[in-house]
Amino acid sequence: MTTQYLDLFSRLVEGSDGGKREFLEIGRLAGKFPAASVSAGTDAGSISVWCSNDYLGMGQHPAVLQAMKTAVDKYGAGSGGSRNIGGTNHYHVLLEKELAALHGKDDALLFTSGYTANDGALSVIAGRMEGCLVFSDALNHASIIDGLRHSGAQKRIFRHNDTAHLEELLAAADPDAPKLVVAESVYSMNGDIAPLAELADLAKRYGAMTYLDEVHAVGMYGPEGAGIAAREGLAEEFTVIMGTLAKGYGTTGGYIAGPTEVIEAVRMFARSFIFTTALPPAVAAGALAAVRHLRSAEDERERLWKSASLMHQLLKERCIPFISDLTHIVSVLVRDEALCKHMSARLLDDHGIYVQAINAPSVRVGEEILRVAPGAVHSAEEVRGFVDALDRVWEESGAARVPEAAQG
């Protein structure tokens, strides 16, 4: 490769808004998490992880680990092929049935990740309805954006959680055109919740189909962990529910659940489903164990919310700003890229606490955050210790504070 091409990519990295991305190598210690080991090259030694998406600690739950070990011993490491060509295992079928039942839908379909689920499903749902108009929240995830782009459908972007703006766009649209409203229930960077009742009502009034991404809610909210829509008694109002197995369920993979007709169409035409190797049977077995456990137990959800609520309270008392107190995602608002990275480094190096600084393009420039995820695995004592450490770093950094009344 000639130097001119290498120089091009070097300038691309140097000129990016968020700067070069660096990754901390950690080894999450099963049975001891949130404790983790770190690789050579850092002075942190053993650390405590506060930014994991394994919110409920299901990635180390004994039932999940045993299910995976049993499946590996029986079926080996991989699936051996795509779902269409030799890659469908009985655990895939069982898991899809379990997820459909969880959401009260006719059928479900597994993907290798939440990203490929959104990309594949939306490319078909929006792309195969001729003349479809899609109404998408401005803060929807990159996987939703890519799925809609790949669909080729016309898009109308409504301001984040602004149902008045959504109604303006719906009212101005061709009444005879097929319509699809796409939103998330819990937004991963803000930690806020969509106005689901209003979204469902508008979709019904204007004859729109609905697609709800519950990635940061499944397992953690609602009856049996079925999500925010189920918690609000609105699951039937959303045509398709999309979720992940990589967060509340502690493994990996994504899925959609909905009417048989929609699921069959996605199964037939979604390129990200057809042209990829299926999830390993052991992963599907572990996810199945996690879903079944969380459908019958409340302990993990209760511990998650106790940790989050305590952190909300303590941050308010210290006047440390964060975006929302509605969910378990605590987005500490720094608003400065360099300062955000500095705080993350100080927490790690001085206190053995790992919280990732979130900069552009994951958030807009000027909205940089420390994305904290107090989980079911964190004790009250650990939450208090975390806030004490953050308070010291906040003070040493000279960061602005916000009156308690203005928080959340």
Report how far residue 75's alpha carbon sits from residue 86's, in angstroms, rounded to the nearest whole number.
13
| Residue 74 among the catalytic residues | no
Residue with tokens 């700003």, as numbered in its chain? 321
Report how far residue 11's alpha carbon sits from residue 34's, in angstroms, rounded to the nearest whole number.
38
Helix (H, G, I), strand (E, B) or coil at 123: helix
Report how far residue 391's alpha carbon sits from residue 269's, in angstroms, rounded to the nearest whole number.
51
Q: Write the DSSP string, 195-209.
A: -HHHHHHHHHHTT-E
Q: Contact 373/53 with Cβ under 8 angstroms?
A: yes
CA dist 377 → 24, 233, 287, 308, 364 (Å) = 21, 29, 19, 11, 30
Q: Which two tokens stand for residue 359?
A: 């900069």
Q: Contact 70/260 with Cβ under 8 angstroms?
A: no
Q: Contact 183/242 with Cβ under 8 angstroms?
A: no
Q: Is residue 357 within a helix (H) or strand (E), and if so which, with residue range?
A: strand 357-358
Among 69, 74, 155, 247, the active-site one is 247
Active site residues: 247
